[in-house]
Amino acid sequence: MREIDAAVCRAFGEPLTIERVRLADPGPGEVLVRLKACAICHSDILFAEGAWGGDLPAVYGHEAAGIVEAVGDGVERLRPGDHAVVTLIRSCGHCHYCGQGRHTACETEFPLDRETPLHGGAAGEEALIHGLRTGGFAEYVTVDASQAVVIPDDVPLDSASLLACGVITGYGAVTNTARLRPGETTAVIGCGGVGLNTVQGAALSGASAVIALDTVEEKRAAALRFGAGAAIDAAAKDAVEQVRALTGGRGVDYAFVTVGVKPAIDQAMRLIGKTGAVVLVGMPPSGVFAEIDPGTLAAYSQRILGSKMGEARVAVDIPALVAQYRAGRLKLDELISNRYPLARINEAIAEVRAGRVLRNVIVFD
């Protein structure tokens, strides 16, 4: 057990508080990682706002990277001193879904699911929710070994942290969920951190058209830098017509929705052509519903696909993405807008919530 600083959510919609909390040492099959960076994802913000309910107090944060401090019994793949990306994806490797390679759907209950490693309060005995199975808004994390992936020491850890969620989610939606083939056409609605990685995933996969849609001009400009061939104001009355004009009137083969809002989902259904698919990547708050025309869906053999965390297999996908980054093909550094210490996390969150940045990263000295 060790004492660490962490940003604790004690009331939905209220600022996080920096507190001294206790973190358990790693048990069998677990690792302790001293974090160097944790990016702020919209999912963290939505959880802290109460969009999906849940219990409090909690420590959120799940897009992290750092240096392995200690390992529990039975851990062989990671060693103290290793640089590692830490994800929220916890997988046993042998259940029904893991056996199919669908690690994001693992159905196994882990010891960390039953008992949180975080405790706080005046006496240090108050249980703190291990937010998104990571608790990354803290100096250290204790996670299952399956959540951590070793990376080369020459990869900057602030950039590497983005691989834990934003990159594997956006890129994986293209390569794992859609399994995009060269020559197919795409539209990406929402050009934040996940959307830009969907854009570059489509471009690097050989899409013949990558069309970005966002209501913010700066994000549309960023999409062009990340590989989009065209960028359209998603709020424009003729946005759908513009997309169809760029695809010979047919619509796209895949429309990726990286924001969790109903209008974007509705718009995506109008962007796809015959045999096209809408890929839902962004997570809306509970209670948000979309409408579809099932007759059109059936008549045109269209599909709606869900994509949790890009259906990533972290032990395979993250090393492959690191290789692309080191080869100069995958952009990571350019995704970071600002770096903040943990003490200024509420300021960093406010910028992300306002939509003014791509990714803000909390860095730890």
CATH code assigned at 247: 3.40.50.720
Q: List, for residues 180-230, the tens digit of each pLDDT value.
A: 999 999 999 999 999 999 999 999 999 999 999 999 999 999 999 999 999
Residue at 319 is within a domain: no
Residue 138 near residue 4 (C-beta atoms within 8 A): yes
Residue 61 near residue 38 (C-beta atoms within 8 A): yes
Considering the domain architecture, whether residues 86 and 153 belong to the same structural domain is answered as yes
Report the pLDDT value the prediction gives residue 290, as an integer from 0 to 100: 87
Q: Is 70 a member of any domain? A: yes
Compute the distance between CA of residue 230 and CA of residue 224 in angstroms, rounded to an integer: 7
Q: Could you tell me where the beta strands, DSSP code E, fall in the chain?
A: 2-8, 17-23, 30-39, 58-59, 63-71, 83-86, 118-120, 126-130, 140-144, 148-150, 185-189, 209-214, 230-233, 252-257, 272-280, 303-306, 336-340, 359-363
Average pLDDT over residues 90-119: 97
Say if residue 224 is in the same domain as residue 144: no
pLDDT at 123: 76
Same domain, yes or no: 100 and 27 = yes
* Residue 127 covered by a domain: yes
**The domain containing residue 271 runs over which residues?**
170-307
Residues 206 and 124 in one domain: no
The mean pLDDT value for 255-268 works out to: 95
Q: Chain-wide mean pLDDT for the chain? A: 96
277 lies in the same domain as 203: yes
- Same domain, yes or no: 177 and 288: yes
Q: What is the pLDDT of residues 13-42, one digit of tens each?
A: 999 999 999 999 999 999 999 999 999 999
pTM for the complete prediction?
A: 0.95
Q: How many domains in the chain?
A: 2
Same domain, 159 and 19: yes
Q: pLDDT at position 356, please? A: 80
Is 178 in the same domain as 244?
Answer: yes
- Average pLDDT rounded to a whole number, residues 258-273: 95
Q: Which residue has the tokens 């045999």?
A: 275
Q: Establish if 221 belongs to a structural domain.
A: yes
CATH of the domain at 104: 3.90.180.10
For residue 316, being part of any structural domain is answered with: no
Q: Is 109 exposed, middle or buried (0-12, 13-18, 19+ CB in 10 A)?
A: exposed
Distance CA 176, CA 365 (A): 35
Amino acid at 135: G
Quick one: 182 and 65 in the same domain? Answer: no
174 and 124 co-located in one domain:
no
Based on the domain organization, do 67 and 194 belong to the same domain? no
Dihedral sign for Cα 304, 309, 310, 312, please: negative
In-domain check, residue 313: no
Q: Does residue 323 belong to any structural domain of this protein?
A: no
Residue 40 and residue 136 in contact, taking contact as beta carbons nearer than 8 Å: no
pLDDT digits (tens, 9 = 90+) for 302-348: 999 999 999 999 999 999 999 999 999 999 999 999 999 999 999 99
User: For residue 6, is it within any domain?
Assistant: yes
Indicate if 270 and 338 belong to the same structural domain: no
Looking at residues 59-72, what average pLDDT do you find? 98
Nearest C-alpha neighbor of 230 from the set 208, 256, 249, 259: 208
State mean pLDDT over 102-113.
97
How high is the pLDDT of residue 139? 98
- Encode pLDDT of 109-165 as tens digits: 999 999 999 999 887 789 999 999 999 999 999 999 999 999 999 999 999 999 999
